[in-house]
Protein backbone atom coordinates (compact mmCIF):
# COMPACT_ATOMS: atom_id res chain seq x y z
CA UNK A 1 0.00 0.00 0.00
CA UNK A 2 2.91 2.32 0.54
CA UNK A 3 3.57 2.29 -3.21
CA UNK A 4 0.46 4.45 -3.58
CA UNK A 5 1.96 7.27 -1.54
CA UNK A 6 3.32 9.23 -4.45
CA UNK A 7 -0.25 9.93 -5.58
CA UNK A 8 -1.64 10.48 -2.09
CA UNK A 9 -1.98 13.67 -0.13
CA UNK A 10 -0.30 14.08 3.23
CA UNK A 11 -2.79 12.57 5.61
CA UNK A 12 -4.04 10.03 3.10
CA UNK A 13 -0.99 8.16 4.34
CA UNK A 14 -2.77 7.67 7.61
CA UNK A 15 -5.95 6.44 5.97
CA UNK A 16 -3.97 3.62 4.39
CA UNK A 17 -3.11 2.17 7.78
CA UNK A 18 -4.74 -1.19 8.39
CA UNK A 19 -7.10 -1.61 11.37
CA UNK A 20 -5.90 -3.61 14.31
CA UNK A 21 -6.10 -7.39 13.85
CA UNK A 22 -9.35 -8.65 15.35
CA UNK A 23 -7.56 -10.63 18.03
CA UNK A 24 -5.69 -7.54 19.14
CA UNK A 25 -8.71 -5.32 19.42
CA UNK A 26 -10.00 -4.64 22.95
CA UNK A 27 -13.66 -5.16 23.64
CA UNK A 28 -15.84 -2.05 23.21
CA UNK A 29 -15.85 0.02 26.36
CA UNK A 30 -18.83 1.53 28.10
CA UNK A 31 -19.64 5.20 27.55
CA UNK A 32 -16.65 7.34 28.43
CA UNK A 33 -17.15 9.04 31.75
CA UNK A 34 -14.96 11.63 33.41
CA UNK A 35 -12.45 8.88 34.17
CA UNK A 36 -12.32 7.33 30.69
CA UNK A 37 -13.05 9.41 27.60
CA UNK A 38 -11.87 6.88 25.00
CA UNK A 39 -14.50 4.60 23.48
CA UNK A 40 -13.08 1.52 21.79
CA UNK A 41 -14.75 0.81 18.45
CA UNK A 42 -13.70 -2.34 16.58
CA UNK A 43 -11.88 -1.29 13.41
CA UNK A 44 -11.62 2.35 14.49
CA UNK A 45 -9.02 4.52 16.13
CA UNK A 46 -8.74 7.49 18.44
CA UNK A 47 -12.47 7.73 19.14
CA UNK A 48 -13.15 9.82 22.20
CA UNK A 49 -15.67 12.03 23.96
CA UNK A 50 -14.80 15.72 24.12
CA UNK A 51 -16.91 16.22 27.24
CA UNK A 52 -15.73 17.02 30.74
CA UNK A 53 -13.42 19.96 30.05
CA UNK A 54 -13.94 23.09 32.16
CA UNK A 55 -14.39 26.56 30.72
CA UNK A 56 -12.76 29.69 32.11
CA UNK A 57 -16.19 30.67 33.42
CA UNK A 58 -16.61 27.48 35.45
CA UNK A 59 -18.97 25.57 33.18
CA UNK A 60 -18.29 22.08 31.88
CA UNK A 61 -18.50 20.64 28.37
CA UNK A 62 -21.32 18.10 28.33
CA UNK A 63 -20.49 14.45 27.85
CA UNK A 64 -22.00 12.68 24.86
CA UNK A 65 -22.43 15.76 22.65
CA UNK A 66 -19.22 15.87 20.58
CA UNK A 67 -16.96 12.97 19.68
CA UNK A 68 -13.68 13.12 17.78
CA UNK A 69 -12.25 10.20 15.84
CA UNK A 70 -9.98 8.78 13.22
CA UNK A 71 -11.46 7.08 10.15
CA UNK A 72 -14.73 5.24 10.61
CA UNK A 73 -14.39 3.60 7.21
CA UNK A 74 -13.26 0.21 8.52
CA UNK A 75 -15.50 -0.30 11.50
CA UNK A 76 -16.56 -3.88 12.00
CA UNK A 77 -20.25 -4.67 12.53
CA UNK A 78 -19.54 -4.69 16.26
CA UNK A 79 -17.92 -1.26 15.99
CA UNK A 80 -20.82 0.08 13.96
CA UNK A 81 -23.33 -1.20 16.49
CA UNK A 82 -21.40 0.45 19.32
CA UNK A 83 -21.39 3.73 17.41
CA UNK A 84 -25.12 3.52 16.72
CA UNK A 85 -25.82 3.09 20.43
CA UNK A 86 -24.30 6.53 21.04
CA UNK A 87 -27.26 8.10 19.24
CA UNK A 88 -25.13 9.95 16.68
CA UNK A 89 -27.11 12.47 14.60
CA UNK A 90 -24.25 13.87 12.47
CA UNK A 91 -20.85 12.72 11.22
CA UNK A 92 -18.61 15.41 9.71
CA UNK A 93 -15.89 13.62 7.76
CA UNK A 94 -12.92 15.90 7.06
CA UNK A 95 -11.10 13.52 4.75
CA UNK A 96 -10.32 14.33 1.13
CA UNK A 97 -11.94 12.61 -1.85
CA UNK A 98 -8.87 10.43 -2.37
CA UNK A 99 -8.71 9.34 1.26
CA UNK A 100 -12.34 8.26 1.27
CA UNK A 101 -12.06 6.39 -2.04
CA UNK A 102 -10.24 3.47 -0.48
CA UNK A 103 -11.66 3.70 3.02
CA UNK A 104 -15.43 4.09 3.02
CA UNK A 105 -18.39 2.91 5.07
CA UNK A 106 -21.64 3.41 3.21
CA UNK A 107 -23.58 1.75 6.02
CA UNK A 108 -23.01 4.72 8.32
CA UNK A 109 -24.78 7.06 5.92
CA UNK A 110 -27.61 4.58 5.51
CA UNK A 111 -27.96 4.29 9.28
CA UNK A 112 -29.42 7.79 9.59
CA UNK A 113 -26.35 9.34 11.22
CA UNK A 114 -26.41 12.51 9.12
CA UNK A 115 -23.16 11.76 7.33
CA UNK A 116 -21.57 14.82 5.67
CA UNK A 117 -18.38 15.26 3.70
CA UNK A 118 -17.10 17.25 0.72
CA UNK A 119 -15.00 16.59 -2.34
CA UNK A 120 -11.62 18.27 -2.28
CA UNK A 121 -7.98 17.50 -2.96
CA UNK A 122 -5.79 17.57 0.11
CA UNK A 123 -3.21 20.28 -0.55
CA UNK A 124 -1.95 21.42 2.86
CA UNK A 125 1.62 21.99 1.76
CA UNK A 126 3.37 19.40 -0.39
CA UNK A 127 3.91 17.06 2.53
CA UNK A 128 4.56 13.90 0.51
CA UNK A 129 6.87 15.61 -1.94
CA UNK A 130 8.88 17.09 0.89
CA UNK A 131 9.03 13.85 2.85
CA UNK A 132 10.35 11.98 -0.17
CA UNK A 133 13.34 14.31 -0.27
CA UNK A 134 16.18 12.67 1.72
CA UNK A 135 17.13 16.11 3.01
CA UNK A 136 13.89 16.03 5.04
CA UNK A 137 14.47 12.61 6.61
CA UNK A 138 15.11 13.97 10.07
CA UNK A 139 12.75 14.55 12.96
CA UNK A 140 13.42 18.29 12.84
CA UNK A 141 12.53 18.47 9.14
CA UNK A 142 9.33 16.49 9.66
CA UNK A 143 8.31 18.85 12.45
CA UNK A 144 8.78 21.81 10.13
CA UNK A 145 6.66 20.14 7.46
CA UNK A 146 3.91 19.35 9.95
CA UNK A 147 3.83 22.90 11.27
CA UNK A 148 3.50 24.15 7.70
CA UNK A 149 0.55 21.82 7.14
CA UNK A 150 -1.16 23.10 10.29
CA UNK A 151 -0.72 26.67 9.08
CA UNK A 152 -2.67 25.72 5.95
CA UNK A 153 -5.54 23.98 7.76
CA UNK A 154 -7.55 27.07 8.84
CA UNK A 155 -8.24 28.12 5.26
CA UNK A 156 -8.27 24.71 3.59
CA UNK A 157 -10.62 23.16 6.12
CA UNK A 158 -12.86 26.19 6.62
CA UNK A 159 -15.83 24.75 4.64
CA UNK A 160 -15.78 21.58 6.75
CA UNK A 161 -15.25 23.40 10.02
CA UNK A 162 -18.17 25.69 9.14
CA UNK A 163 -20.39 22.66 8.69
CA UNK A 164 -19.24 21.18 12.00
CA UNK A 165 -20.14 24.34 13.89
CA UNK A 166 -23.51 24.50 12.14
CA UNK A 167 -24.33 20.93 13.16
CA UNK A 168 -23.31 21.59 16.75
CA UNK A 169 -25.27 24.84 16.93
CA UNK A 170 -28.39 23.09 15.59
CA UNK A 171 -28.33 20.93 18.71
CA UNK A 172 -30.07 17.93 17.19
CA UNK A 173 -27.91 15.42 19.03
CA UNK A 174 -24.41 13.96 19.31
CA UNK A 175 -21.94 14.87 16.54
CA UNK A 176 -18.78 13.06 15.41
CA UNK A 177 -15.95 14.85 13.63
CA UNK A 178 -13.28 12.68 12.06
CA UNK A 179 -10.37 12.59 9.63
CA UNK A 180 -7.98 9.71 8.94
CA UNK A 181 -6.00 9.54 12.18
CA UNK A 182 -8.24 11.85 14.18
CA UNK A 183 -5.29 13.93 15.30
CA UNK A 184 -4.51 16.77 12.85
CA UNK A 185 -7.51 18.21 10.98
CA UNK A 186 -9.79 16.79 13.66
CA UNK A 187 -7.42 18.06 16.35
CA UNK A 188 -7.68 21.64 15.11
CA UNK A 189 -11.46 21.33 14.61
CA UNK A 190 -11.91 20.22 18.21
CA UNK A 191 -9.55 22.92 19.47
CA UNK A 192 -11.63 25.57 17.72
CA UNK A 193 -14.87 24.23 19.20
CA UNK A 194 -13.43 24.17 22.71
CA UNK A 195 -12.05 27.67 22.22
CA UNK A 196 -15.45 28.95 21.09
CA UNK A 197 -16.93 27.45 24.25
CA UNK A 198 -14.47 29.34 26.45
CA UNK A 199 -12.16 26.46 27.40
CA UNK A 200 -8.66 27.77 28.30
CA UNK A 201 -5.96 27.14 25.73
CA UNK A 202 -3.92 25.04 28.16
CA UNK A 203 -6.86 22.62 28.37
CA UNK A 204 -7.41 22.75 24.62
CA UNK A 205 -3.79 21.73 24.16
CA UNK A 206 -4.20 18.89 26.65
CA UNK A 207 -7.12 17.45 24.70
CA UNK A 208 -5.11 17.81 21.48
CA UNK A 209 -2.17 15.85 22.89
CA UNK A 210 -4.33 12.89 23.98
CA UNK A 211 -4.02 11.55 20.43
CA UNK A 212 -0.51 10.40 21.30
CA UNK A 213 -0.83 6.75 22.21
CA UNK A 214 -4.61 6.72 21.69
CA UNK A 215 -6.31 3.35 21.03
CA UNK A 216 -5.74 2.14 17.48
CA UNK A 217 -2.97 4.60 16.69
CA UNK A 218 -0.25 1.95 16.79
CA UNK A 219 -1.47 0.62 13.44
CA UNK A 220 -0.33 3.83 11.74
CA UNK A 221 3.32 2.97 12.18
CA UNK A 222 3.07 -0.12 9.95
CA UNK A 223 1.69 1.97 7.10
CA UNK A 224 4.64 4.31 7.30
CA UNK A 225 7.24 1.56 7.14
CA UNK A 226 9.85 2.49 4.55
CA UNK A 227 8.75 6.08 4.08
CA UNK A 228 11.07 7.61 6.68
CA UNK A 229 13.81 6.47 9.03
CA UNK A 230 12.30 5.25 12.28
CA UNK A 231 13.75 8.20 14.22
CA UNK A 232 11.82 10.62 11.98
CA UNK A 233 8.44 8.90 12.28
CA UNK A 234 7.22 10.11 15.72
CA UNK A 235 6.64 13.74 14.61
CA UNK A 236 4.52 12.45 11.71
CA UNK A 237 2.57 9.81 13.60
CA UNK A 238 1.90 11.89 16.70
CA UNK A 239 1.07 15.46 17.63
CA UNK A 240 3.08 18.13 19.40
CA UNK A 241 2.08 21.42 21.05
CA UNK A 242 3.94 23.40 18.37
CA UNK A 243 1.60 22.04 15.69
CA UNK A 244 -1.52 23.48 17.31
CA UNK A 245 0.35 26.65 18.22
CA UNK A 246 1.29 27.09 14.55
CA UNK A 247 -2.33 26.89 13.43
CA UNK A 248 -3.54 29.38 16.02
CA UNK A 249 -0.66 31.75 15.28
CA UNK A 250 -1.52 31.63 11.57
CA UNK A 251 -5.15 32.40 12.35
CA UNK A 252 -4.11 35.47 14.30
CA UNK A 253 -1.80 36.62 11.50
CA UNK A 254 -4.45 36.18 8.81
CA UNK A 255 -7.57 37.30 10.69
CA UNK A 256 -6.35 39.37 13.63
CA UNK A 257 -7.80 37.06 16.27
CA UNK A 258 -9.34 33.63 16.72
CA UNK A 259 -12.73 35.23 17.37
CA UNK A 260 -12.50 37.09 14.06
CA UNK A 261 -11.72 33.83 12.27
CA UNK A 262 -14.62 32.04 13.96
CA UNK A 263 -17.06 34.79 13.05
CA UNK A 264 -15.81 35.79 9.63
CA UNK A 265 -14.71 32.45 8.19
CA UNK A 266 -16.81 29.90 10.07
CA UNK A 267 -19.98 31.88 10.76
CA UNK A 268 -19.65 31.59 14.53
CA UNK A 269 -21.06 34.98 15.51
CA UNK A 270 -22.42 35.89 18.94
CA UNK A 271 -25.77 34.23 18.22
CA UNK A 272 -24.20 30.96 17.11
CA UNK A 273 -21.82 31.02 20.04
CA UNK A 274 -24.75 31.32 22.44
CA UNK A 275 -26.37 28.34 20.76
CA UNK A 276 -23.16 26.34 21.07
CA UNK A 277 -22.86 27.10 24.75
CA UNK A 278 -26.49 26.27 25.39
CA UNK A 279 -26.15 22.92 23.61
CA UNK A 280 -22.70 21.90 24.79
CA UNK A 281 -22.18 23.38 28.26
CA UNK A 282 -23.72 22.81 31.63
SS (H, E, C) 55-82: CCCCCEECCCCEEEECCCCCCCHHHHHH
6 versus 150: the higher-pLDDT residue is: 150
pLDDT band for 101, please (50, 70, 90 cuts): confident
Rounded to 5 degrees, φ, ψ at 88 are -60, 135
Task: Tell me the torsion sign for CA atoms 128, 119, 68, 147.
Answer: positive
The average pLDDT across 227-232 equals 85
pLDDT above 60 for 238? yes
Amino acid 125: pLDDT? 55
Does residue 12 carry a pLDDT above 90? no
Alpha-carbon distance 146 to 67, whole Å? 24
Q: Which residue has the higher pLDDT, 114 or 28?
A: 114
Domain range annotation of the chain = 2-280
DSSP string spanning 162-184? HHHHHHHHHT-S-EEEE-SSSSS
Helix (H) or strand (E) holding 93: strand 90-93
CA 97 to chain centre: 16
Say whether pTM exceeds 0.85.
yes
Please tell me the predicted confidence (pLDDT) of residue 29. Answer: 37
What's the rounded Cα separation, in Å, for the pair 228 and 16? Answer: 16
Cα separation, 19 vs 4, in Å, equals 18
- How confident is the model at residue 15, as a pLDDT? 42
Is the pLDDT confidence value at 25 over 60? no
Q: Using DSSP bridges, classify how beta strands 175-178 and 48-49 pair: parallel, antiparallel or unpaired.
A: unpaired
The residues that bridge with 141 in the sheet, in sequence order, are none
In this prediction, residue 6 has a pLDDT band, given cuts at 50, 70 and 90, of very low
pLDDT of residue 44: 93
The answer to whether residue 223 scores a pLDDT higher than 90 is: no
**Mean pLDDT across the chain:** 85
pLDDT at 22 over 50: no
- Assign a CATH topology to domain 2-280: 3.90.190
170/13: higher pLDDT: 170
Amino acid sequence: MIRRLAAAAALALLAAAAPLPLAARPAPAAHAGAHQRFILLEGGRNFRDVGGWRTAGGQTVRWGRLYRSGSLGRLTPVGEARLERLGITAIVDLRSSEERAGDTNTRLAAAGMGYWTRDYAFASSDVIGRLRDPANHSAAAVRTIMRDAYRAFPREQAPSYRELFARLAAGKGPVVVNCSAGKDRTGLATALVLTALGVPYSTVRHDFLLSNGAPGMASLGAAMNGLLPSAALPPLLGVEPAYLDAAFAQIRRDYGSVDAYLAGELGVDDHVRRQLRENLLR
